[in-house]
């Protein structure tokens, strides 16, 4: 069946398509780690309208009391620590959207307690909401472990893995249930771009492989 095809060119096209798929797979994940954002950057202060943070192709808008980027070197010994800059919010909901408005997928994120001197200002739970293009939503809740000793030896941040947050157009994260406030921290938010997260379907891959094998056979036949 390959006799009537320009095998050489198809073979090249097949290899190009395969290479492209592999490159797309490698480039699909985006991790927002805040490490390039200067510590002390303010998104919002005292409930006043603030400035969205733009990083890694995303815009992060804060709605609440106060929020910003910090680390344990920013002068507050009560901050959680993972050795890097992170995002913190006090009574704040963050909304993430892609700058090009394209859908994206959430894989995981790190979260920790955040206090201003008192543990009763911790959020105990993080609510994560994904909004789809048709305005339907997916919601998951994650409990913070209250393990928190700042730059001490305890792991302050936990990694939470989400499911069902595929091809969303907006992501909302908010801390819940604090006694006096609902303060929390976020870091290492892992996104995959729409479409690139999916590995080629087995059927398509098999067809492609068969095609390559078949064309290879034709090539060998012709050159022998
Ligand atoms: Ca970080
Ligand atoms: Ca620690
Ligand atoms: Ca913790």
CA of 160 to the centre of ligand 2 (A): 17
Which listed ligand is nearest to 109 at the C-alpha? 1
- Cβ pair 196, 25 in contact under 8 A: yes
The pLDDT of 43-58, averaged and rounded, is: 95
CA of 41 to the centre of ligand 2 (A): 22
Whether pLDDT at 101 is above 70 = yes
Taking the centre of ligand 3 as the mean of its atom positions, its distance from the CA of residue 143, in whole angstroms, is 9
Written as six digits, the tokens of 44 are 């919002």
Torsions phi, psi for 147 (to 5 deg): -85, 120
CB atoms closer than 10 angstroms to residue 82: 18
Asked if 96 and 189 count as a contact pair (C-beta separation under 8 A), the reply is yes
Residues around the ion ligand 1 (C-beta < 5 A): 33-35, 84-86, 187
Mean pLDDT along residues 62-68? 95
Reported as a single tens digit per residue, the pLDDT across 20-31 is 444 444 447 999
Tell me which residue of 26, 153, 139 sits closest to 81, measured CA to CA.
153
* Residue ranges with CB less than 5 Å from ion ligand 2: 81, 149, 152, 154, 156
pLDDT digits over 148-191, tens only? 888 888 899 999 999 999 999 999 999 998 777 799 999 999 99
Report in angstroms the alpha-carbon separations of 5 from 148, 211, 220: 65, 11, 15
Distance of CA 50 from the midpoint of ligand 3 (Å): 27
Residue 5 has pLDDT above 50, yes or no: no
Identify whether the C-beta of residue 94 lies closer than 8 Å to the C-beta of residue 111: no
- Structure-token pair, residue 141: 């809740």
Ligand nearest to the CA of 187: 1
Q: Could you give the C-alpha distances from 190 to 58, 105, 120, 161, in angstroms and in order? A: 12, 8, 29, 9
**Per-residue pLDDT for 117 more than 80?**
no
pTM above 0.85?
Answer: no
């Amino acid at each position: 069946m390959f006799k009537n095809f320009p095998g050489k060119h198809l073979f090249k096209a097949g290899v190009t398509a395969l290479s492209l798929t592999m490159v797309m797979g490698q480039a699909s994940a985006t991790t927002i780690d805040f490490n390039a954002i200067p510590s002390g950057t303010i998104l919002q202060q005292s409930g006043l309208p603030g400035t969205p943070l733009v990083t890694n192709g995303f815009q992060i808008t804060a709605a609440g009391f106060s929020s910003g980027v910090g680390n344990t070197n920013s002068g507050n010994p009560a901050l959680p620590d993972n050795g890097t800059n992170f995002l913190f919010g006090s009574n704040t909901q963050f909304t993430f959207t892609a700058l090009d408005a394209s859908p994206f997928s959430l894989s995981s994120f790190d979260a920790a307690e955040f206090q201003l001197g008192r543990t009763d200002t911790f959020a105990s739970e993080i609510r994560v909401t994904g909004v789809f293009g048709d305005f339907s939503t997916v919601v998951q809740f994650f409990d913070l472990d209250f393990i928190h000793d700042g730059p001490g030896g305890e792991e302050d941040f936990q990694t939470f893995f989400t499911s069902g947050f595929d091809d969303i157009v907006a992501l909302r994260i908010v801390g819940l249930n604090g006694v006096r406030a609902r303060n929390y921290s976020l870091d290492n938010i892992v996104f995959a771009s729409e479409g690139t997260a999916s590995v080629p379907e087995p059927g398509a891959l098999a067809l492609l492989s068969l095609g390559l094998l078949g064309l290879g056979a034709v090539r060998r036949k012709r050159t022998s």
